[in-house]
Chain A
């Protein structure tokens, strides 16, 4: 559906390695305005690395990033934000002791005019009014924007975090596991918000382990495996099983091989896990074939 439009963001043959670990290899990826592209893959497949490369946290080793057709260099998170790429990480980065308005405008507070420019006073009225507008626009229901974010449900917090990312009027919004650890009703709220982002013309990149959610909102599904793009599927014409197969590599369309590469990837994944302190889990057999969520404590099932 989006092939005819110019992608707002496109990656061409992007590679990134951390020491001996090749996290991304020649990945091509793009997202168009008003399109939701889901990014799926097993742990250690490179989803987070890809998002962080686009967000400017990791500089890419080779390849090109095009923004609205122009090659760009994203060397820092500020570069990404300045281009119009907003990222909502899984930990949301909200201050629980601050209220919704304070969180929405954190780091970009508005100052009042007149006497307030001398006293450097905040313009609370303007910020609160804009917060209402923003949330209404997204059909996010929060009764009191002056209540502390810490008192809110996971779904509301996620929605506040996504709303905050929209304040800079970004063209691309990247969501890292927006429905992880949410209940059914809250997941539905967040997915509805993702759909509204698409309606508003944002390009949305969404990492998710939950294929049901992916199929509900995504236009296209990009499968990463072992740092490579293992398939780009039209969500409407793809089955659940095909995606699972692509994720686990039971029949890899690009290489067809399984053995040593998978073993290498598992070793990499374990190393990654060790790096983030979750190495307690035993090594998995390379061809478990099950859904990729079983080893992920964050997964929504």
Chain B
């Protein structure tokens, strides 16, 4: 902290007043893009490049069928990533989300198939198990001051064992109940998709415009109305294009609505509520948050509980798509990709910076790479190496952005 302050002073000349200066101009835009300040826009461009490359190689890539498949493929990992983002915002990490997703999916399968529970009750129970696991891990982390890395590493091993235990000797449970399999095989074609899209966009546009007007009425600085309208128009066009493409195939998948719904919910919570503000505060400076009267422990425990709950939901969606739960559910690269996604899309590993959108964007980037290479029938060896390279580049950009912030006194 002190070192950062000193750096500011050293770099500051007379008349230099960096407080309100926002970088302007094309060169600044390029610089911010390279250094990762522009976050989401950068990822969208990266995504566009990836799509262009694959489309050039294989013209089925951007077909409505393949894009629908892509959405279904990323649902589980995207949902897990939503929880991971919250943990990353705290400056912590949760390595157990893969194992928890497998365990909770197993719990759901055992309860509904072996014990004849109603599938809805089984799903609720599985999510509750996830929440309890997260609260437990968060409590160990805060109570004993054990690094979250280690607590959740122990969780990774332990919950995998619990999963084997729950599944018992057969090791595989097939899911046939339509309530569960329907989660990833239900499509809303035609007007339903358009209605949902229109209502969603309408709410978003109304909230944006009302917020803008109330700020103007209070005499506060706002972005120009034109910029807001352009932003709304782009969002509307993106939503409309997505629905149009999906309707060409089977329609809007329920799974995609669930994913987008959770992303919007947590985007709202993190940016518009006290709880979300406190997550960022703890991630930015836990000591400052504590002195401001925020219960840092409570925030941490709740966030870990949310992360494990989201892992459970992701696990349930993965099971629904696979039509089964087995001993390898939630293992393999599932965990690492769920963490890599948000980081690739710009959520910092160092805490306090990022957004829930990066869960969706990151899952899209990783899913597109994987899907495209499958279409090109590339070996999984290549797939792993390319995904690894993309992740490496992303964390280097993150580290560079952080380094530059420190050099200019921003930590």
Contact = CB atoms under 8 A, between A and B. Distances in A.
B273 A122 contact: yes
A28 interface: no
A240 interface: no
Given A93-B291, A107-B294, A128 B218 contact: yes
A152 interface: yes
Contacts of A152: 8, 18-19, 409
A4 interface: no
Contacts of A129: 218-220
B18 A151 contact: yes
B5 interface: yes
B12 interface: yes
A95 B6 contact: no
B40 to A, nearest CB: 16
A143 B19 contact: yes
| Residue among A94, A126, A142 with most chain B CB within 10 A | A94
A contact patch SS: loop
Contacts of B8: 152-154, 157
Interface in A103-127: 106-109, 111, 119-122, 124-126
A218 B99 CA distance: 62
B22 A144 contact: yes
B26 interface: no
A125 B19 contact: no
A296 interface: no
B280 A95 contact: yes
B294 A106 contact: yes
B274 interface: yes
Nearest to B1: A91
A95 B289 contact: yes
A128 B215 contact: yes
B31 interface: no
A188 to B, nearest CB: 12
B410 interface: yes
Interface in B274-298: 274-275, 277, 280-281, 283-285, 287-289, 291-294
Given A93-B287, A97-B352, A129-B220, A147 B281 contact: no
Interface in B366-411: 405, 408-411
Contacts of A151: 18-19, 408-410
B59 interface: no
A229 to B, nearest CB: 28
A5 interface: no
Given A125-B220, A181-B5, A96 B277 contact: no
Contact of B20 (A128, A147, A150): A147
B219 A96 contact: no
Nearest to A120: B273
A182 interface: yes
Contacts of B280: 95, 97-98, 102
A52 to B, nearest CB: 13
B292 A146 contact: no
A241 to B, nearest CB: 30
Contacts of A122: 272-274, 277
Contacts of A96: 4, 284-285, 352, 410-411
A156 interface: yes
A177 to B, nearest CB: 11
Interface residues of A, number: 47
B2 interface: yes
B387 to A, nearest CB: 28
B273 A156 contact: no
Contacts of B5: 154, 157, 181
A124 B272 CA distance: 9
A210 interface: no
B339 to A, nearest CB: 20
B277 A142 contact: no
A186 interface: yes
A125 B214 CA distance: 7
Contacts of A150: 4, 405, 409-411
B277 A298 contact: no
B19 A144 contact: yes
B356 to A, nearest CB: 16
A95 B352 contact: yes
A144 B223 CA distance: 12
B6 A181 contact: yes
A92 B218 contact: no
Contacts of B20: 142-144, 147
B221 interface: yes
Contacts of A144: 19-20, 22, 221
A153 B12 contact: yes
Nearest to A132: B220
Nearest to B353: A97
Interface in A258-301: 298
Contacts of A108: 292-293
B9 interface: yes
A298 B14 CA distance: 22
30 contacts: A77-B291, A91-B2, A91-B287, A92-B288, A95-B280, A95-B281, A96-B4, A96-B352, A98-B277, A111-B274, A119-B273, A120-B274, A122-B273, A124-B215, A128-B218, A143-B17, A144-B22, A144-B221, A147-B19, A147-B21, A147-B22, A150-B411, A151-B408, A151-B409, A153-B8, A153-B19, A154-B9, A181-B2, A181-B6, A298-B2
Among all A-B residue pairs, the 4 with the closest Cβ atoms: A143-B20, A107-B292, A150-B410, A144-B20
Given A107-B292, A120-B274, A154-B5, 9 more contacts: A93-B285, A93-B292, A96-B4, A97-B284, A106-B288, A144-B20, A147-B21, A153-B12, A186-B9
